[in-house]
Amino acid sequence: MPIDLLTEFSVTEKVINEDGKELFEMFLAKEEPIVLFYRHTRDKVIFTDRKIIAIDIQGLTGKKKEFRMFPYSKITSYSVETAGTFDWDSDLKIWVSGVGVFGVKLGKKIDIKEIGKFLSEKVK
């Protein structure tokens, strides 16, 4: 049975440097570090030590942005689907209490195991 996703984001690369961090600063608590950061042309997803924040940049000019915050304490479960032979993308689905299912399609260069391990430490 297919899952009705509340929102699905698509990211294709891991960000190593601080490029783009300023987009998230207004939603970060004092001394809340960004641990993992992924992006695509318009979608960006970060994992901090307290929550997941996703940005969907909309419109032709990119001035309209939707920010979604998902505290780890509200995550009830998650699933990881690794890439196959013909489908090179991995999928991450996160069930958030009171919100629904949040999905992230991960490009072939992204290590889904790193995200799965990180979530296993944060989601209790």
5: pLDDT confidence band, cut at 50, 70 and 90?
low
What is the SS3 assignment for 85? Answer: coil
Residue 69 pLDDT more than 90?
A: yes
Q: Where are the alpha helices (DSSP H) in 62-123?
A: 112-122
Band of residue 117 on the pLDDT scale cut at 50, 70, 90:
very high
Domains of the chain: 7-122 (2.30.29.50)
For the cut 60, the answer to whether the pLDDT of residue 2 exceeds it is: no
pLDDT per residue as tens digits for the range 84-116: 766 678 899 999 998 889 899 999 889 888 999
Q: Which conformational region is residue 26 in: left (phi greater than 0), alpha (psi within -120 to 50 degrees), or beta?
A: alpha
pLDDT at 9 over 60: yes
Contacting residues for 52 by C-beta, under 8 A, at least 6 apart? 45, 46, 69, 70, 72, 94, 102
Rounded to 5°, the CA angle 44-105-110 comes to 75
What pLDDT, on the 0 to 100 scale, is given for residue 32? 93
- Of 90, 93, 95, the closest CA to residue 77 belongs to 95
Q: Which of these ranges, 10-19, 48-57, 63-72, 107-116, has the smallest mean pLDDT?
A: 10-19
